[in-house]
Amino acid sequence: MPTDSLISTDVARAAELLREGQLVAIATETVYGLGANALDERAVARVFEVKNRPHFDPLIVHIADRQWLDRLVTSVPDAARQLADAFWPGPLTLVLPKSDIVPDLVTSGLPCVAIRMPSHPQALELLRKVDLPIAAPSANPFGQISPTTAEHVAETLGDGVDLILDDGPCSIGVESTVVGFDDGKPCILRHGGLTQEEIERVVGPVTSRQNPASGPAESPGMLPQHYAPRTPLAMVEPSDLSADSTLRKSLAGRRVGLLLLEPSPAAESFDAVEVLTTDGNLRDAAAAFFAALRRLDVTDVDQILALPFPDEGLGRALNDRLRRACH
């Protein structure tokens, strides 16, 4: 794979390519995105093609300038403005009624468009240089593990992209928090890099929409299966980890990997172990999460086990990704 020429730090070149309708993978503080001019339907169509992403899964549009918000949406509820004031630039995506300039392909035909202003300096520099809104879903094949380095993008999308703008590992490591509005009231559609607690400090209690148990998901980041390794992954309880548990006995003869938040003696009886932190810090865990999952996936294990994270702060986003990685 000619990754040397594909991976670059040339922001001006990236901007030029995007203006020409090409695809550029970009570093952001959440995960690497596969960027295209959001106003160019042909470029956006290629994003779906390269990712093998179903057309019912809408894209997030990235901007560096609030003026673009006013051009892309028709109304902004007070709570959305408060959230943007508090958390933009940052890992917050707002879903708002779209204006006519947003192609239907970007929103999968939905009346609302998802918009985010990233805080990553290189991404902001690029967005300012292009001076266009950039649609950018995570730069990975649909349903697979999200990329947190330029190399991850090159490994899975390779020649499908025209350039990969490299700026090292992503600092947050999980996707943005997606917030929609019901009659002006904020509702978390996907947990992510901005915690529910942070949001509630600004706008008070918010609801969060869980996956429907059956039937179509309302918003596709809410698909029950997503962010998944190839190796089967199961979420288990601490008691399942001991070598003489019913679960472990049922896996006898199979190689088992373990994903852990912090060091534990239970890790000793596994064939491969990824420990995300030394002290259980959830920010560090999020930053390490997808890369660790990727390493477990390429080691020769038949099954990955993971314990749920504490259900608070970034633990909510991590549990959400784990649940969707189960299969």
Binding site for ligand AMP (CB under 6 A): 57-60, 95, 107, 110, 112-114, 137-138, 175, 178, 180, 189-190, 219-222
In degrees rounded to 5, what are phi and psi of residue 263? -55, 145
Question: Is 28 a residue that touches Mg ion (CB under 5 A)?
Answer: no
Give whichever of 171 and 248 is closer to Mg ion, judged by the CB atom. Answer: 171
Q: What share of the chain is helix, strand, coil (3-state, %, to 5)?
A: 35, 20, 45
H-run or E-run covering 14: helix 11-19
Q: At its nearest, how many Å lie between ligand AMP and the CB of residue 186?
A: 13
Q: At its nearest, how many Å lie between ligand AMP and the CB of residue 210?
A: 13
Cβ proximity of 195 and 314 under 8 Å: yes
Give whichever of 35 and 270 is closer to Mg ion, judged by the CB atom. Answer: 35
DSSP annotation of 290 reads: H
Max Cα-Cα span within the chain? 61
Question: Is 149 a residue that touches Mg ion (CB under 5 A)?
Answer: no
Q: At its nearest, how many Å lie between Mg ion and the CB of residue 146?
A: 6
Give, in order, the Cα–Cα distances in Å from 114 to each of 59, 73, 102, 175, 201: 7, 10, 11, 13, 22
Give whichever of 173 and 257 is closer to ligand AMP, judged by the CB atom. Answer: 173
Give whichever of 110 and 203 is closer to ligand AMP, judged by the CB atom. Answer: 110
User: How many beta carbons lie within 10 A of that of residue 317, not counting itself?
Assistant: 29
Select from 133, 118, 154, 129 the least CA-distant residue to 37.
133
Give whichever of 92 and 241 is closer to ligand AMP, judged by the CB atom. Answer: 92
Question: Is 138 a residue that touches Mg ion (CB under 5 A)?
Answer: yes
Q: Residue 110 binds which entry of Mg ion, ligand AMP, none, with Cβ cut-offs from 5 to 8 Å by kind?
A: ligand AMP
Give whichever of 52 and 239 is closer to ligand AMP, judged by the CB atom. Answer: 52
What are the DSSP calls for 296-317, one per residue?
A: HHHSS-SEEEEPPPPSSTHHHH
Q: At its nearest, how many Å lie between ligand AMP and the CB of residue 265?
A: 36
Q: At its nearest, how many Å lie between ligand AMP and the CB of residue 151?
A: 19
Q: Residue 58 binds which entry of ligand AMP, Mg ion, none, with Cβ cut-offs from 5 to 8 Å by kind?
A: ligand AMP
